[in-house]
Structure 1
């Protein structure tokens, strides 16, 4: 564990191979299909969705493969599914979270990426830009539901890019390789410093909230690159995250799940404010309105 912690501090990420067994991954894949088929047409869509990304009205008539082609990501699947809720504090994850973050850990977000062949990647970014913490404890957990390769759009990272503790400016992405999520720029790193993180399904990548990371388009002919992503932080810090203006930034976001340890702010109670929604492909010329 000490070596892993040192590697995380030095590089900003660690990979734990095959942390989840095939049975658990198959359960999550089946639940992914169920959510898309049964809940997909009911969920609100972000205002950046293109027409082709809207879930169709004739879901019942579609094959599984055709259905999944209409989804890029579902946000907050843990609020729709006990299977995904149980993953937030899965016993396989907790020891690593406690080691990297501390004894008291809370989770504020889950995202389920359904990245079919041909789907875009996401431009270079830092998660802390979107989910600001006061103590820089934000930690991403990326759980591979398929083998992730360069061909099908695995993660890419810039080792050590978290160390400066700087959040770089963002803009609308230039390349059509990416969806419309904001792209970091003016950072002091070259493309040669980027490394692909190819992992087998069931493996988990833990990474720092300030680490620059991205993914490329799924260029495989038939493969999916599905992944479940969680975000965690120290429960000892407040969370001034507005989640797209849904919560005032002056408040402490209490729409959380305690994962381990104690909650120093439990007197505030827990809220259920943020609702699941669909994230589709977004045009490169479009940009989130409230970047500040």
Structure 2
């Protein structure tokens, strides 16, 4: 992994605080990326376990035919020990401890495939979907292919995380994007957006309040594969689901988590298996709302 040397004004922490994102160039080596790509094919074929909403593949289909049916698989770390190990990747975790703190837990993984023609995702903030108590939510977006403007890399609005405001959202019918709602009524325009192009093996770390989006893969061939993991401070409760009976919302704490650094102050609560691997609707055939 190569990161520019820290100076008083350009430390990883300062860049992240100022812009809401930072790139870890070449955090994964080529062998690690190749292994994750091979694992992607096994996951999409259903060889590692069931995926809710996936169409079963047949032995006579090529990996390419199978993979391009998918846009995104949620929770691949529950199917693959390699994906779980990557959630704990030392280069990513070291950076997370500098940004989030010494104690870090993960709660979600998403394996994006995005073949040519597949849609992107409209402007949104991850914290809107995964609410933390302390604004510590951080995504690690690992490029498994070179991510370019042509094949649908992420676009960000630098600094849009600073106010800690969750902007309103609405349904949309924009064919460029999948079925996820879009954020709106924020004080930036598309002219302020910056594309984040990455080489395979590089990682984009970004704040849960940062507005970001992606456009369709408009390339003539190939994929824009990426593994995105979400992390937060282990000291913070995670009110990602309704509280148990007899609890109030302030006590709600989603416990389907993976500790990746330090200690878990809430380990006494145990770990629950609450979410199962599933696919994300890609607008093909409409959105089930």
What's the TM-score, normalizing by structure 1? 0.90
Structure 2 residue ranges without an equivalent (≥5):
1-5
Query: What SS does the corresponding residue of 1:61 show, helix, strand or coil?
Result: coil
> How much does 1:41 deviate?
8.5
Task: Confirm or deny that 1:23 pairs with 2:46.
Answer: no
Cα-to-partner distance string for 1:213-233 (whole Å, 9 max, x where unaligned): 000000001121000000000
Superposed CA deviations along residues 241-272 of structure 1, whole A, max 9, x for unmatched, are 02xx7988942101000011111111111111
Distance 1:119 1:185 in 2: 23
SS at match of 2:279: strand
In structure 1, the gaps of 5 or more residues are: 46-53
Query: 1:283 Cα deviation (Å)?
Result: 5.9
How far, CA to CA, are the matches of 1:3 and 1:284 in structure 2? 46
SS at match of 2:45: helix
Residue 95 to residue 240, structure 1, CA distance change in 2 (3 Å): same
Displacement of 1:134 after TM fit? 0.6
Measured in 2, the distance between the counterparts of 1:41 and 1:172 equals 32
Aligned to 1:191: 190
2:131 corresponding residue in structure 1: 132
TM-score, scaled to structure 2: 0.91
Residue 48 of structure 1 corresponds to which residue in structure 2? none
Task: Give structure 1 regions of 4+ aligned residues with deviation exceeding 4 angstroms.
Answer: 245-249
SS at match of 1:229: strand
Shift of 1:16: 1.0
- Work out the CA distance in 2 between the residues paired with 1:284 and 1:192: 32
Find the counterpart in structure 2 of residue 49 from structure 1: none
1:168 aligns with 2:167: yes
- Distance across 2 between alignment mates of 1:209 and 1:66: 34
Hey, what does 2:264 align to over in structure 1?
Answer: 263
State the secondary structure of the residue aligned to 1:30.
helix
Cα distance in 1 between the residues matched to 2:202 and 2:70:
23
| Aligned alpha-carbon RMSD (Å) | 2.0
Matched with 1:100 is: 99
What does 1:247-286 align with in structure 2 at a 5 Å threshold? Answer: 250=249, 251-282=252-283, 286=287
